[in-house]
A and B are shown apart, each in its own frame.
Chain A
Amino acid sequence: MKRWQRKGTGRRRVEILAAIEDPGATHSPATKTFANIIELDQGGMVVETGSAIRVGAAVTVRVVFPNQSRGADPFAHLHCSVREMMDDPNLHYGLTIVEIDEQSRERLDSYLAQTGASGWA
């Protein structure tokens, strides 16, 4: 299993439920699947998915970070590129965040500050 290299003190492992949507997918791989975010940083994440997703696909990760349920729309929307398969047998993928709106960035930063996560290499 590969591990992403990190600067600084290391990224905190997490366990956050998310939904991943791949609008470009046909029925297989799935257009929508649940996933666990198991590592997270300002630049991306490692996810394990309920169904396979396509390496190279542009996907949206929809997530409510713990302690951020307030408000009409508590979701953070992280537009990502599926960079690589990190752990083939267990369907772990590395995702790079390529686009993020201001509110979602605030939510992500706030959560990372709370958990003590650091930046990508």
Chain B
Amino acid sequence: MPLIGIDLGTTNTVVSIDGKIQSLADSGRATLPSVVAFLPNGNRTVGEIARRRRAIDCPNTIYSSKRIIGRRFDDGVTRSFIERYPFDLVETPNGGVAFRTRAGDISPTQVASFVLEDVIRRIDIDPSRCETVITIPASFNDAQRQASADAAAAVGLGYPRLIDEASAAALAYLHSQHQAGTRFRRALVYDLGGGTFDCAVIDCSDGLPGMLSHASDLQLGGDDIDHRLAQWVAQLVLEKYNWDLTNYSETYDRLVAHCEAAKIDLSVFEEAPIHLSQVDPECPVEDGAIVVTHRVLDEMCEEIVRRSFVTCDDVLRMAGISARDIDAVYLAGGTTLLPMIQRSVESYFGRSGLIDFDPTEVVALGAGLACTVA
């Protein structure tokens, strides 16, 4: 029976089968954007094509829905989601929340099930004949856990085991270190994904991760960096060219998407241009592009990093230890690829974060390993 580990992320979904990361995108990439688009012809598409449709049909292209999965409409988190994202959200008869799309009202649980359904199609498995573990943030409440499990059940995965993302990441690292003969006493998982931050102190002494303490910030992730960067660009364009990129939610959403792309580019390159013609073709900017540098991105990240360390402080306090008592820092989540994040982690803990795996894949790898652990 295949062992399936699924990291159903806010931004991307990653899957392992029997310990191997699967290619989910047509391009061969392991990450499938957790984006669902409802097309005018009645079809639904998931992944990269859906991600691109965000630029041309954003009210019907749903992303980051994990931020409000299992939430009520009157929840403060839902209210701030409504303010920030370009969707038409409505209250369901039972007080929940749904996206109003041309395909009808779609709940975040349904969005998750559509992503999982697409994953199953892409990896070509019989969902009833596999053992599945799905990861969730450690701080998900009962309603959020139930909604995640319901999404899996809706696509025939039954009610799979849910484990927290930090434990999954720790499991992958410990497995690898065990094979390499390396031993740590205490490790800390620093998992900064697209929409959530998970942090956990792990007792590694017996080879399996024993969680000593954990905490999550469910409203902290790479998304927040994208929005800060978008605000910076919009302000710059307003001041220099008297042109407001925030007037239309669709235009602003395109700006956020381009800022995300620039942020990812800055994991590798020295600078990244944001072509304003691709955000708002009417934008009368003579020099065409706003160039984002590491210095700018670092400024945008500062508060996010600070907030993540507040959570780290809490986790260390709960475990009764200090940052210097940590033997290893395991990095997970795509946002930890940013050089500024890695430098800040090193400065806070007095040691470099380990990045033995692609941080976008490590949680799914660990989820797969969790299938073998009782």
A residues near B (Cβ < 8 Å) are 15-19, 33-36, 38, 48-52, 62-70, 74-75, 88-91
Contact = CB atoms under 8 A, between A and B. Distances in A.
Given A17-B254, A17-B278, A48 B285 contact: no
Interface residues of B, number: 24
A35 B281 CA distance: 12
Interface stretch (B15-23, B49-57, B170-178, B350-358): B49-57
B56 A34 contact: yes
B289 interface: yes
A113 B254 CA distance: 26
Interface string B230-268: 000000000000000000000000100000000000000
Given A70-B288, A89-B43, A65 B277 contact: yes
A35 B56 contact: yes
B288 A68 contact: yes
A44 B254 CA distance: 25
Interface of B: 39-41, 43, 45, 49, 52-53, 55-57, 254, 275-279, 281, 283, 285-289
A38 B26 CA distance: 14
B281 A19 contact: yes
A70 B57 contact: no
Central interface residue in A18, A51, A65, A91, by most chain B CB within 10 Å: A91
B56 A66 contact: no
Contacts of A48: 49, 52-53, 56
Contacts of A67: 275, 288-289
A51 to B, nearest CB: 5
Given A65-B277, A68-B277, A69-B283, 13 more contacts: A16-B278, A17-B277, A34-B56, A36-B53, A36-B56, A38-B52, A48-B49, A50-B57, A66-B278, A88-B41, A89-B45, A90-B39, A91-B40
B76 to A, nearest CB: 33
A15 B52 contact: yes
A52 B49 CA distance: 16
A50 B288 contact: no
A17 B286 contact: no
Contacts of B286: 69-70
Contacts of A16: 278
A64 B276 CA distance: 10
Nearest to A29: B40
Contacts of B278: 16-17, 64, 66
Central interface residue in B49, B275, B281, B287, by most chain A CB within 10 Å: B281
Contacts of B283: 69
A64 B277 contact: yes
Nearest to B288: A69
A19 B280 CA distance: 11
Contact of B277 (A34, A66, A90, A91): A66
